[in-house]
Amino acid sequence: MKPTFFYTILVLTLNLFFYPASYAQNTIDSNYIFRYEKRNVIEIYPGISSTKFNFTNPGELKNNYSLVANRSGNIGIYIGYKWLSLKYSWAIPGTQLDKNVKLQYTSLGFSFRIKKWSIRPFFNTYNGLLLPEKPRSRDYKPVRDIKFSDAGVDVYYFFQTKRFSIAAASSFSEKQLNSAGSVFIKLTPMWQKIKWQNPSRDIITDSTTFKLLSLNPEWFSLIARVGYNYNFSFYKGKWSITPAIIIGSGVLKEISTGINHLQLVTDIQASIRGGHNGRTFYYYLNARWGTLQTNLFIKNMQQVNTNFSLTAGWRFHTFRKKIFGIL
């Protein structure tokens, strides 16, 4: 068997952070939030992640079919300079679930923050998935010609930004001097599609799962959530632990089957981040978990995402001369 030496989880994220004058003038409590002079950063973040799609028949709770992404260990680099940010990550060789097949995962994202609002457009695509051949086994069968894609925008609104720093909680780019938290809402309009180029009953043996995937389903959904994010600050923000929980539901409309009525979507997400936040160097552990339950007409689909990572970052000043005359 020939091992693959370059496995692509290709994540090329172009983040454009705009801080207009209205944001700079937003009132904050200096006893709770400290803004660093060095706003530019370089980060490295190794981690492990997994994505699983579970299929269940309507009215049942236990899934009877699953597909998984060929993902595991990965490492990434992030550079944020003034208004431009670049992120690139790739798979660590020899860590995939199936080390003998190359399946690509691509992710694009943007992020805008204005006062209490955070807006994050996104796009993800899985070019090929794995079919577990036996429950709780490490044997997989590749489904190379199946493609799962989604695109949308996450819109956040935080109710407390005078004492709670969104930037400190999400990326350690500010310091939370004293403990504080905020309730927030999250609204996500999203498009999703599954495309299977050459359906085969020899690969997908379950009849209803085969029927769903072979129809190349496509749908729009709108999900509303409520969440709470708290930053436990120690030693004036030198160390912090930040848990968050989100729960919500919404509706979807299938656009490829001719079905007119709306279906239910539910979502639960949880995360925790903790580490050291210094003037020049910072590092933190991050754990995220989420489950999105999508109720389609033929069969229900649950997407479960899990991610663990360690981020180490370095802050630096702006260069004296402009880069290419624009940065």
Tokens of 9: 């989880």
Residue 50 belongs to some domain of the structure? yes
* CATH code for position 141: 2.40.128
Q: Is residue 327 part of a domain?
A: no
Query: Is position 283 within any domain?
Result: yes
Structure tokens at 306: 């899990």
Split into its structural domains, the chain has a count of 1
pLDDT 10s digits, 34-62: 999 999 999 999 999 999 999 998 888 78
Using pLDDT thresholds of 50, 70 and 90, give the confidence band for residue 96.
Answer: confident
What tokens appear for 129 in the block?
């998935």
Domain for residue 156, yes or no?
yes
306 half-sphere exposure, CB direction, 13 A CA radius: 10
Whether residue 1 has pLDDT greater than 50: no
| Cβ contact 214:265 at 8 Å | no
Does residue 322 fall inside a structural domain? no
pLDDT score, position 160: 95
- Of 1-5, 39-43, 51-55, 126-130, the range with the lowest mean pLDDT is 1-5
76 beta partners: 45, 89
**What are the structure tokens assigned to 19, written together?**
């801080």
Return the higher-pLDDT residue of 303 and 4: 303
Residues 130, 140 contacting (CB under 8 angstroms): yes
Range of the domain at 207: 9-316
φ, ψ dihedrals at 23, nearest 5°: -70, -40
* Lookup: tokens for 321: 């001369």
In a domain, 321, yes or no: no
Residue 19 has pLDDT above 50, yes or no: no
How many whole angstroms separate alpha carbon 65 and alpha carbon 214? 15
In a domain, 324, yes or no: no
pLDDT grade for 12, boundaries at 50, 70 and 90: very low
pLDDT of residue 99: 82
Give me the chain's average pLDDT, please.
87
Q: Domain for residue 1, yes or no?
A: no
Contact 154, 119 (CB under 8 A): yes
Please, which pLDDT band fits residue 136 given cuts at 50, 70 and 90?
Answer: low
The answer to which of 3-12, 121-130, 289-298 has the lowest mean pLDDT is: 3-12
pLDDT value, residue 259: 74
Between CA 275 and CA 285 the distance in angstroms is 6
pLDDT digit string, tens, across residues 100-120: 888 888 888 877 888 899 999
